Amino acid sequence: MRLSVGPEAGSTESNPTEGAPPSTEPPRTEPAVAPVDGSTTGRAPAIHSGDPWAEAGRALLRFHLGRVLSHVPGVIAGEDAEEVHAMRVAARRMRAAWRVFGDGFERESSRRYRQELRDLGSRLGAVRDLDVLIGILVAHAGRQGDRQRGGLEPLFVAWRAERAVRRAELLDMLGSDGFGAFISDYQELVATPGLATRAAAPHTPGLVRNRMPATIWRAYQDVWAFDGDLRGADLATLHQLRIAAKWLRYTLEFAREPLEPDATALIRPVVALQDYLGDQHDQHVAAEMAREFVASSSLTPAELKAIGLFTTYLDQDVDRLRRTIRSTWPPIVGSRYRRGLGRAIARF
């Protein structure tokens, strides 16, 4: 079985390995680079309205690189699945920082680093996606009787085996000379003010205060564009909305300090929408992957029944979430939110 899901699947908070039988893990390997110290693992650096655009981005890139590297030992140890999740989130935020601030850097540098981070995110996501699928399956099995749980065992074994393969690929990457060289090069970029900064023409907006307002509005417009009857939207449309909401959330989080005291009120409803759509996406992916497994496997009638009930439950939950999405929508697209966003942006 090969996992073929979107690049952003996975927000389940339960421990996906709880109640799982032991599995064969690849041998531990040494990271290609040493983790940074804990000084970069606290609160993200504040950016201010008078900061140069590229240097504000550099500070965020430096912080989230520290977050990424701080989780490498835990990912390699493999004792806590949340280490993969945390490392993936940090890598995703780095990619978001490039998306927001990348035009302040030389084009070739931006392209190269974003591609490297995309590859890292893909490796982390392949493991995390399996953790999410397994967590959904374990939660469902915990609500069933012994016979139904037994019927789900082949699916559980297959997903665990796939996770072991993806984890081995991730560890190979983290232990590779190529990854070490990338991190060494990247550390120089984020630690050196002015390095690879794109030259700007005179009178070109180059500070946070004259770049971030338009950036925030564009991110908001990308979400607002989905306004309409979302109850009838298909899953592909809702997945695109979740991606747009994610970029809006990260953009607002990067600008938290200048947006205060309204930052939390602006971010909270976006997080709620993103989480809602994430739950729906995870359930849909789990159902599709379970059906793919059934189609490619020889199973007993009891196993077919148990997995069939699992997919039916997931389909019903996906449909329920699609029907009730409107509960999370008005707090973001209403005029009250836009007025609050406008007032906050005006503080730049």
Query: What's the average model confidence in pLDDT over 13-37?
Result: 42
Tens-digit pLDDT profile for residues 127-162: 999 999 999 999 999 999 999 999 999 999 999 999
Is residue 325 one of the residues assigned to a domain? yes
Same domain, 86 and 179: yes
Question: If we measure between CA atoms, which residue out of 130, 133, 137 comes closest to residue 153?
Answer: 137
The pair of three-digit structure tokens given for residue 334, joined into one six-digit string = 């209403």
Is residue 65 one of the residues assigned to a domain? yes
Is residue 183 one of the residues assigned to a domain? yes
Question: Contact at 8 Å (CB) between 91 and 117?
Answer: yes
Residues 6+ apart with CB under 8 A from 292: 1
Residue 22: which pLDDT band, with cuts at 50, 70 and 90?
very low
The pair of three-digit structure tokens given for residue 113, joined into one six-digit string = 């680093």
Distance CA(104)–CA(254), nearest Å, equals: 15
Question: If we measure between CA atoms, which residue out of 337, 333, 325 comes closest to residue 274?
Answer: 325
Residue with tokens 């012994």: 146
Same domain, 139 and 58: yes
Q: What is the DSSP letter of 229?
A: -
Question: Contact at 8 Å (CB) between 14 and 139?
Answer: yes
Same domain, 213 and 305: yes
Residue 7: is its pLDDT beyond 70? no
Same domain, 188 and 54: yes
Is residue 35 one of the residues assigned to a domain? no
* Greater pLDDT, 327 or 58: 58
Same domain, 211 and 191: no
Residues 6+ apart with CB under 8 A from 128: 10, 84, 85, 88
Residue 42: which pLDDT band, with cuts at 50, 70 and 90?
low
Tens-digit pLDDT profile for residues 227-239: 877 777 889 999 9
Same domain, 138 and 222: no
Q: Amino acid identity, residue 99?
A: R
Is residue 121 one of the residues assigned to a domain? yes
Query: What's the average model confidence in pLDDT over 163-170?
Result: 98
* Greater pLDDT, 229 or 41: 229
Share of the chain above pLDDT 70, in %: 87
Cα distances from 243 to residues 8, 79, 216, 271, in angstroms, run: 8, 30, 15, 12
* pTM for the predicted model, two decimal places: 0.86
Distance CA(259)–CA(268), nearest Å, equals: 13
Residue 316: is its pLDDT beyond 90? yes
CATH number of the domain where residue 235 is located: 1.40.20.10
The pLDDT value given to residue 200:
84
Same domain, 241 and 334: yes
Same domain, 72 and 136: yes
Same domain, 234 and 294: yes
Among 173, 196, 219, the domain-final residue is 196
Same domain, 189 and 311: no
Among 165, 196, 227, the domain-final residue is 196
Q: Indicate the helix (H) or strand (E) that contains 191.
A: helix 177-191
Is residue 5 one of the residues assigned to a domain? no
Domain count, the chain: 2
Question: Contact at 8 Å (CB) between 129 and 14?
Answer: no
Residue 35: is its pLDDT beyond 70? no
Same domain, 92 and 222: no
Is residue 4 one of the residues assigned to a domain? no
Distance CA(124)–CA(122), nearest Å, equals: 6
Tens-digit pLDDT profile for residues 232-281: 788 999 999 999 999 999 999 999 999 999 999 999 999 999 999 999 99
Is residue 107 one of the residues assigned to a domain? yes
| CB count in 10 Å sphere of residue 288 | 16
The pLDDT value given to residue 326:
79
- What's the domain range around 160? 47-196
Same domain, 117 and 242: no
